[in-house]
Chain A
């Protein structure tokens, strides 16, 4: 966009960015995450709680270490580091060794956020950066899913010494997505709805995640276009595939309620820092994620695609913002 008129400055960017630093919004997100988190801890036991707390500790300590000394209280007070660690924890397998969870928290805040210039300047969702790093670094531990079990039994893998492998001594079980992808076994709908399946810590209970998302929507902390766009697109796309070959492709309901779909659509993709600013841009962003998830899940090498779908569309967000910027009042769209 070239400008000839020096009195009127048009530029994409900071002045359009929303300010979401208010601790009030963060508290709301905490409340919204609580039911699904409690369900995860209930299903997977105290080990899951330890993993979650370690993630938060890693994130908060990193934020504290890199924050300017005089501003530490302010940086930590807005609660974003806690939220990053919390969201990361919810995407991890419940029996992950604690030292890995800690590294995940450090990477999420260190590489995912601080390195870009801190809160509001990052391109990628920090929690997902942490998860992507962990998945690429420890592929086996990150895809070892334990079956929901006794509340007080903590898998010994959780207490693995730093740098050492964790031995999972509880019952392991392929996640619903893995079962679908590699063995074409469907998981009953009600298990997916209530979360009584193996999977990441906080992603299994569809119902409670929707409840939390609804609360955020009611509090107007969440742009409804993003989850509706993602879930709608994914459902339509998988419905088409399901009609083409019902034996080979999972149906739309399974697509929606399995894996990190709901957690990602409601809590990760809606991160205001890394999603587009305009309504039109938001729709493009959401539809892009919906299509990518189904593409990766059905045709890619991994059973789950939510993380990469969101990260890819995060990368496209500045471009979407640039092209969907509304025209300035009184000007033609392409006026020079």
Chain B
């Protein structure tokens, strides 16, 4: 490549437009090749990192779970999906070692004190309870608002929480099964988390199938294109 350039340089004192465009084109081409190469090299690892992160979050919010699969709502029905679909709002179903359904992990988000808070929480339809909560992303004030995921006691409040009537954050000590203790000094963030979970429940609970008829776990991990067709019933 460099030899071409030398020939071009030797030719002209005042570079012609063609030479300028040519230089940029060569630079762009080389740059493109390098970027594609690094993309291909790292693609698998990055995808794996993302998948692992998601899996860890799901396992965190549903206790005793070792397997999971993605579910999408299609025509009012929950179906298993392996595809990367844009615009779809997936939820995740968790299963234990024997393939028994343990609960759903439902992502939901909403405004916090500083920015949008993204929450993933576990929901068990059998007794209509929230069984775990994990903050996926937030920009709450360090030292105060970030206690919504750093304060173990606050997070633990969501391990066994009735969703009817809607969850309430209280400052006077929780008494009812649908109450959690708001964090002192971070009331707004605490209330935001509760509101986000209530919003997720409003949207999802009525759309979930009857307890007992959840999608079963499909053991196979076939190539993504085929898997997308195989719908669980």
Contacts and interface: CB of A to CB of B under 8 A. Distances in A.
Interface of A: 139-140, 143, 182-183, 301
Interface string B112-126: 010000000000000
B113 A301 contact: yes
Contacts of A183: 171
Contacts of B188: 301
Interface in B76-103: none
B141 A139 contact: yes
Contacts, number: 13
A152 to B, nearest CB: 28
Contacts of A143: 185
Contacts of B66: none
Nearest to B187: A182
B34 to A, nearest CB: 44
B143 interface: yes
B144 interface: yes
11 contacts: A139-B141, A139-B144, A139-B185, A140-B143, A140-B144, A140-B185, A182-B171, A182-B187, A183-B171, A301-B113, A301-B188
A244 to B, nearest CB: 23
A183 B171 CA distance: 9
Q: Which 3 pairs show the lowest CB-CB distances between chains A and B?
A: A140-B185, A139-B144, A301-B188
Nearest to A174: B171
Contacts of A140: 143-144, 185
A8 B141 CA distance: 54
Contacts of B171: 182-183
Given A139-B143, A140-B185, A182-B187, 10 more contacts: A139-B141, A139-B144, A139-B185, A140-B143, A140-B144, A143-B185, A182-B171, A183-B171, A301-B113, A301-B188
A185 to B, nearest CB: 12
A304 to B, nearest CB: 14
A139 B141 CA distance: 10
Contacts of B143: 139-140
Interface in B170-186: 171, 185
A183 B141 CA distance: 23
B173 to A, nearest CB: 14
A139 B183 CA distance: 14
B144 to A, nearest CB: 6
A146 to B, nearest CB: 15
Contacts of B187: 182
A183 B187 CA distance: 11
B39 to A, nearest CB: 42
A124 to B, nearest CB: 23
A132 to B, nearest CB: 15
Contacts of B185: 139-140, 143
B148 to A, nearest CB: 15
Nearest to A138: B143
Contacts of B144: 139-140
Contacts of A182: 171, 187
A143 B187 CA distance: 13
Nearest to A302: B188
B83 to A, nearest CB: 41
A315 to B, nearest CB: 22
A18 B224 CA distance: 77
A138 to B, nearest CB: 9
A301 B144 CA distance: 14
Nearest to B191: A182
B163 to A, nearest CB: 24
B179 to A, nearest CB: 15
Contacts of B113: 301
Interface in B148-190: 171, 185, 187-188
Contacts of A139: 141, 143-144, 185
Nearest to B114: A301
B97 to A, nearest CB: 44
Nearest to B144: A139
A194 B171 CA distance: 28
